[in-house]
């Protein structure tokens, strides 16, 4: 059985930076063991810290924050794969991801792929992090306020403390709250509405509508202004 500490120990840079989170992860693991006796927990063990595993701490250029994993399962394949907004190949892209592709097409010329796997972004420096990293199958937000949020904040604190400037794409009010402590004197925060069909076109106080925001090219413009290479958003 792969524990959360085992997963963290395999995450380049994060294993040292987050060593003080071992007690919290051990408590979460003990609680998840009980949860696993009663329900299918998503994503499966070995994928729960995938965002950290695929994007080493010193490689982070962009952070995309989500709320919690997808709760669905299709043909025995869980939608949750450990990366916010991403689903495995063979799974129809969810509606929020369809809008993400729509904005990428308008902003960067993306030809929308037939799949929803965003793993390529992770390897290029995009940390795709949910605030809660597990849930019960079919039950959205079922693991909210169980301890994951403290771990997520510890992750974001480490990114905030990095000497290299980073872009935070905060989509929706939940993400706006999640990144409140980010140092905007050094880093770039782009706040928009959530890309879901209910919010993608709606601006609000202090944020713009997701569709039409050009957040992807703006992220690359900021990185270039700081001497960092931008993200190849279209190579999926």
Question: pLDDT tens, 17-38?
Answer: 999 999 999 999 999 999 999 9
pLDDT grade for 223, boundaries at 50, 70 and 90: very high
Q: Is the pLDDT of residue 94 over 90?
A: yes
User: What is the share, in percent, of the chain residues with pLDDT greater than 70?
Assistant: 100
Q: Is the pLDDT of residue 153 over 90?
A: yes
CA 111/CA 153 separation, integer angstroms: 34
The arithmetic mean of pLDDT across residues 177-189, rounded, is 97
Q: How far is CA 137 from CA 6, 28, 52, 112, in A?
A: 23, 17, 22, 28
> Domains (ranges, CATH) in the chain?
4-225 (3.40.470.10)
Cis peptide before 49 (omega within 30 of 0): no
Beta-sheet strands, E only, within 94-149: 126-130, 135-136
Residue 86: the pLDDT is 98
Backbone angles phi, psi at 138, to 5 degrees: 80, 0
CB proximity list for 173: less than 8 A, separation 6 or greater? 194, 204
- Told to judge if 68 belongs to the known catalytic residues of this protein, a careful annotator would answer yes
Catalytic option among 6, 23, 29, 68? 68
Q: Is the pLDDT of residue 75 over 90?
A: no
Q: Is the pLDDT of residue 235 over 90?
A: yes
Residue 2: the pLDDT is 96
């Amino acid at each position: 059985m792969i524990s959360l500490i085992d997963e963290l120990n395999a995450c380049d840079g994060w294993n040292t930076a987050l060593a003080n989170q071992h007690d919290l992860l051990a408590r979460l693991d003990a609680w998840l063991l009980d949860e696993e006796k009663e329900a299918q927990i998503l994503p499966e063990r070995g994928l729960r810290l995938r965002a950290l595993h695929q994007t080493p701490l010193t490689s982070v250029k962009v952070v995309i924050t989500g709320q919690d994993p997808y709760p669905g399962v299709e043909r025995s394949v869980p939608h949750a794969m450990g990366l916010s907004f991403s689903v495995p190949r063979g799974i129809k892209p969810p509606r929020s991801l369809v809008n993400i592709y729509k904005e990428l097409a308008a902003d960067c010329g993306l030809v929308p792929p037939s799949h929803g796997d965003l793993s390529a972004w992770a390897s290029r420096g995009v940390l795709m992090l949910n605030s809660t990293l597990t849930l019960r199958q079919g039950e959205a937000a079922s693991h909210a306020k169980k301890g994951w949020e403290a771990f997520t904040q510890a992750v974001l604190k480490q990114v905030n403390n990095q000497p290299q400037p980073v872009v935070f794409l905060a989509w929706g009010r939940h993400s706006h709250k999640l990144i409140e402590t980010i140092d905007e004197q050094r880093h770039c925060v782009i706040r928009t509405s959530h890309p879901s069909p209910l919010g993608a076109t709606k601006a609000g106080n202090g944020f713009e509508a997701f569709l039409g925001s050009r957040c992807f090219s703006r992220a690359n413009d900021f990185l270039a202004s700081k001497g960092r290479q931008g993200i190849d958003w279209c190579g999926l």
